[in-house]
Amino acid sequence: MKYHIPLLMLVLSLKILGCSNAGSTASIPAVNNFELGRYLGKWYEIARLPHSFERDMKDVYAEYGLREDGKISVINSGWRDGKKSVANGVAHPKNDPHTGELRVSFFRPFYGDYRIVWLEPDYSAAIVTGATTDYLWILARSPQIEQEQLNRYLEKITKWGFEVSKIEFPWTGKYEGI
């Protein structure tokens, strides 16, 4: 029985690090001329591909802030079964701070890729992925976006090879302001 825990940790680590059967997102360039200061703040989750750590989560949002040590605080919040759930993480630029690529960890010492592959010029909405096409989020500064804007994003995502038919739309507004 003692060997099952290390094996489980290895499997979880590989999943967090982006090792899966999904396609790589390496051919999708992260945004350039990225300004971290403008990206900080609150982002609402408009859409996402399903994954275990957000299963049944509704009204999800993320808050990014600059820490005293220069790293980025990441606070993801949402509601599951009527109860608020919060996950605290830390991030830092992957390489060039002017490229929209971060390394994010909620389970230190394991870090995963956070790649901003589309960003509105006014920083009002973003499309974010990881190292594989298993991970995708459409984020916005407000909990809703226009249908035409969403359709444009879904068209981009389809061209990039994501499974659009699996996308979830978790915002209900039920817990807003609680």
Q: Which pLDDT score, from 0 to 100, does residue 173 have? A: 85
Tell me: cis bond preceding 109? Omega within 30 of 0 counts.
Answer: yes
Q: Which pLDDT score, from 0 to 100, does residue 177 have? A: 56
120: Cβ contacts below 8 Å, ≥ 6 apart: 126
Which residues of the chain fall short of a pLDDT of 70?
1-21, 176-178
DSSP secondary structure, the chain, as one string: -TTHHHHHHHHHHHHHTT-SSSPB-TTSPPPSS--HHHH-EEEEEEEE---GGGTT-EEEEEEEEE-TTS-EEEEEEEEETTEEEEEEEEEEESS-TTSSEEEEEEETTEEEEEEEEEE-TTSSEEEEE-SBTT-EEEEESSS---HHHHHHHHHHHHHTT--GGG-B----STTTT-
Question: Measured between alpha carbons, how far is 102 from 41 in angstroms, rounded to an integer?
Answer: 15
Q: Which pLDDT score, from 0 to 100, does residue 151 have? A: 97
The distance of Cα 124 from the centroid of its chain, to the nearest Å, equals 15
- Provide the greatest CA pair distance for the chain: 53
Q: Indicate the pTM of the whole model.
A: 0.85
Question: Measured between alpha carbons, how far is 85 from 95 in angstroms, rounded to an integer?
Answer: 31
Encoding tokens for residue 82? 């009527």
